[in-house]
Structure 1
């Protein structure tokens, strides 16, 4: 792919036709800025990345990165009304000059956050409270290991931003319909239950103790018994009927903790692979949204069905050599598999290598042309 194939020409006086896929846009114009933008894209989901075409790497189309040619100033009139927030890796002074003509009202303007070219500071610039820039600043800073800079004197709440919760870890939510009422409960300091069964534990980013009205539970039943006004549920499981009472005013977040090991015959279709994955996860009562990666042997690194499946769902595709796989203890080594692949097993040792765990949820299950193993990441 060439840069010309995907770049947006910015002609004077013409608003470019951008492709908005997410709520946030990341913009960079320097070599170091591009590195930060690409790193941020992999750690902070729900963000579209824009950078200058001269920094083309060749994988922009695959990563849905949009490039542009010309002055970045001409890009902002298109980005400003389209996105909930802009994360800009350009000097603060330059950003202020470029967005000044676009400012309308604090109730309408998007959140604007600036990152310095070395990625050391993340600065809340515009719409700190109503637009969520202050919380966005903390989340972005945590994602890239930078220092958040928030200057509004009234920024004293320091609580959970419901719509950004776990975003830097790649968490997604099941449905957005309760984001607003749950956010209201958090802001109004009502009784909040955070139920965490899996996923990263370092989600509290503030420099104060968690307030008393927010309680963290490891078990659903304990949260139900507490009768909270609102719930934030972090789990890879599908909720059982008796647990859905927490969704009366609750949001379910899906951490990326499920790892799939896949082995298949050459030429197995993506449809068959995906069918086995869906059936297996449904039996386990696990959410597809919590899958992080698919692992296999390097002989499968060009397997079309595997590549299409991972591309469709945005999963990492990791492969290992036969020598790496053979170093892992497995339940039932297969001479037949060794004959064709050089490894005594594929799906089971691949998941064990990725997760670092010797115990799997599913060691090995064969269905048609597909063998699948299921493991979990523990934090």
Structure 2
């Protein structure tokens, strides 16, 4: 998640600096940028450049600033509102699909503040369809149906999920078993459903949840054992609350194509691995990728795990876990749009 923190007062600016330092230590936060004053000017940029905006200011200023920019719950960024004293963190916009509710809980924990969340499913302890999609990195083909399904869930109606029996949906079953919010779901199987889809139905209403591609990028020292690479991968996906059965591919650079630890891991997890051509890595550009001069001096590329993950995930993919080191192993995770 790429986050912009914007403040208007000196006290708010001090809080922003403190919050940035804490967020930057989190591997699931790709970058955090600070902005101060010039609210009207900055919001017109931030709204389209960041996944989330944390506004440390009066709610009136925030609401008037974002009102002309709001378009859709599918595309709008998460927006949080914090008072200058850091007492309350309010999920203001895109609570579910944008991730504002989850980020509110995270930020409130970091600041020892009170989280304020007002979405109906959350306050009634119900699991919304859009929450499932966000948590499991699934796209929704008909966002206009979200309201209908969430209303039905609030009223205690049973929702039907249909999946392909040939696909490992352990991640879905574990999620539904462990989630603390309530939802009444029946699971059906059909060979007519694509393996990367979950069909949701109630009466004549239906929508399709489709897996966005999750790719784990791997870099490692020569000869690193499979068990060590596996440990780094598990730590990373645990940070994201992603089940290993939800991973679609592994990725690394072609210079690692004979690395036994990576090949063994691919076989062990039964997940294919893509070794990206050096030429593609050399041409790849992204402001979100961390650059290593050491890797550049040895292989002519600035990095392995982040660009490999992004290239393999496809055009317009984004990092959801930045390059993190685990005793000679580097892991980054990207997801397709």
Q: TM-score range by the shorter chain?
A: 0.3 to 0.5
Bigger helix fraction: 2
Question: Could you tell me the TM-score, scaled by structure 2's length?
Answer: 0.47
Higher relative contact order (CA 8 A, sep 6+): 2
Q: Which has the larger radius of gyration?
A: 1
